Structure 1
Amino acid sequence: MRKTLIKNAKIVTDGITRNGDLLIEGDVIKEISESISAKDGNTIIIDAEGKYLLPGVIDDQVHFREPGLTHKGNIESESAAAVAGGITTYMEMPNTSPQTTTIKEWENKMAIAAKDSYANYAFMFGGTNDNLDEILKVDVTKVPALKLFLGSSTGNMLVDDKEVLKKIFSNVKLRIALHCEDEATIKANLQQAIDTYGDDIPMEQHPIIRSEEACYLSSSGAVELAKETGGRIHVFHLSTGKETNLFNNKKAIKDKQITSEVCIHHLWFSDEDYAAKGSLIKWNPAVKTAKDREEIWEALLDDRIDVIATDHAPHTIDEKSNSYLKCPSGGPLVQHALPAMMQFVAKEKISIEKVVEKMCHNPALLFGIADRGFIREGFKADLVLVDPNNPWTVTKDNILAKCGWSPFEGVTFNSRITHTFVNGHLAYQNFKVNQVKNAQALTFQR
């Protein structure tokens, strides 16, 4: 049986950091102690002196573009970028081509991932105005959540029939993950921008078109409907300070009916960055004001916001080079999310224990992921070693996402991910992905 002994690490889990050793046997954490000796000559020993040992990051929102959009990325390429970023587990979204709105298409994605994924995987099921019967067939032990687009949809995935929404919220046992932006408000704002600028709309107009009002109108309506019906909802990628007041910190995450998430780009960028970054920071929902960013940070730190994710959504640089009306929203983030959060740790904006809570513990608890998200004996050995004092600069040469660019190009991160383990297997070490894959499908305790 494969054995790896990690010695002298700063182990971060369950709200504390302590020095110690950790033994991996097979795909599980066998032992955690102040000092562990190798029992035989076959044990691989890694000296982690000065490094943090974290649970593998669980990213609850990625778009890996397969099937149908593989010129942007695919499960193999994007999961490689994920393990390079310390993300050992991901949940992928249903707006691929074809959409994951039938059991058949969900099974197809699972088969691709079983063959090609470097990281543990699960795929959300997509809702439409007319597939409730299919939704009710979903195996809740294998699907993390139902994804609904209440704005900014692709294909026919905009769920805008209020009666359908009420039926879904009332009948679906899964947690319901939501993209909340009001389409009518956005369309009106877009028309006003077209009337003013014609086809040459500045990127700085993006947070005005996809406004605070559009976000709040949709998210507040979803929260109200969840309270009315008993639906369990998780609101993705909050982008406004106003929305944070819809959520509370009065319950433990496992007991919350209504939860929320923030993404890396809404913690890092503001509308002041459009001048330099342009379309590279065009996301839906839009990056908004510095004041919004600070209010989001406040809600993250006081536990109104439960999860940090990426919304990794790559497009080619040619696609992102188009004018506003033709430029798609989204960008690659899985490789740089944890280094970005470690930058905030270094600036004492957030503690490393809180980062682990929001990126590892809470996604596991929120979705009921079995035996992951914590460093505990008997849990799966999904682990990340981070050197907090080993600077590196993001360049095109070290970007692993298939699209080949990043909004973080030129940024120097203080922290470097040196090792990523997926189910006990060394999946990544110092800018090199191990081509042997050892990923597993997630299961959910429900």
Structure 2
Amino acid sequence: MTSPLSPLDRQAVEEIAEFPMPRDSACPFDPPPALRQRDADEPVSKVRLWDGSTHWLVTRYEDQRALYGDQRLSVDTTRAGFPYLNEAFREVAAKTPPSFLNMDDPDHARIRRMVTAPFAIKRIEALRPAIQRMTDELIDKMLAGPKPVDLVEALALPLPSLVICELLGVPYDDHDFFQSNSKVGLRRDVTPEAVRAASGALFQYLDRQLDRKIAEPADDMLSELGARFQAGDLTRQEAVMLGQLLLGAGHETSANMIALGVLAFLEHPDQLAIVRDTDDPKVLASAADEMLRYLTVVHNGQRRLALEDLEVGGQLVRAGEGVIIPGATGNWDAGLFPEPEKLDVTRDARRHMAFGFGIHQCLGQPLARLELQVVYGTLFRRIPELRLAAELEKIPFKDDGIVYGVYELPVTW
């Protein structure tokens, strides 16, 4: 049982900066000013979370990269002292089995290798014609409809949803159901009850879909998970939870990157022109990576727990202490990315860590990159007059979200 804090200790805790830190509404693409200042002044320091607990904040690129590869850090959210994002995450971690995202090796490696093959670069690249067709069809529908249009609803959300439904093997007709339930857990202020209800509904849905694929297998990932379950490689719960994870993660982050990236391009017409006027896949690939670096939509920091004492940036992190790794500061490290506040699609941004790094690096990054390349390379070419239909100050940003983005993006042409 933790001893009560003395008055001096309590005052010291209260003076520690809170995390996450607020963004400047005048600079919505930038990391929070206080976070950048912390990076400049004290790149390894303590911050206070929503529940009053204090943890280490590590902001420098090289330190972050080293931590991502350090086996002395755990992603297991069931361990005491883990730096939970909110109360809902803490409650869910205590009452439900972890997904493979929150497993350490060897369990993590065992499950991850079962879903690695469908995301291999060559297999994902083979999807380019299909993703191009989907993108063109959605833009056709935009052009044929009324103006202005909400780009989130017209393109940014449906495209990755269509793609992940195709890959996973679930009906796109169910997209309203899984989109509405997936987004429940993406707000920092969500209640544990709401998360449990939404997660339970998604689990039951994927459980029924798994039965369907076991009975009538097809060439899709859910059928593969069903085969793995039947072979004894996965438990039924593991198979369903993997399907649930892939369904949610497969559309939410990409949807936010598409919409927020389009907005950033509209606010940087010189960079937009480079993307609009090229058909060079290398230029489009560079633009997608630069936008991933520039925006870093997973903006509440990756969370870890130290299993042993370790040194980071001259500071001793003791076993049992939490560590938070905010990707935005690493991706804006001027030592690696000169003038990081400048959006420059011609720079080599491939070393960004928008997808993390190490054994827990995002499995779907080849797919996310491909979707961004196709959308950015198609939208502005097909609608060169595209422009905002509202003032930037009126755009509703997801400051309260786990994934940064915009709730809606009214555009016209």
Indicate whether the TM-score tops 0.5: no
- Please state which structure has a larger fraction of its residues in helix: 2
TM-score between both structures, scaled by the size of structure 1: 0.28
TM-score between both structures, scaled by the size of structure 2: 0.29
- Please state which structure has a larger fraction of its residues in strand: 1
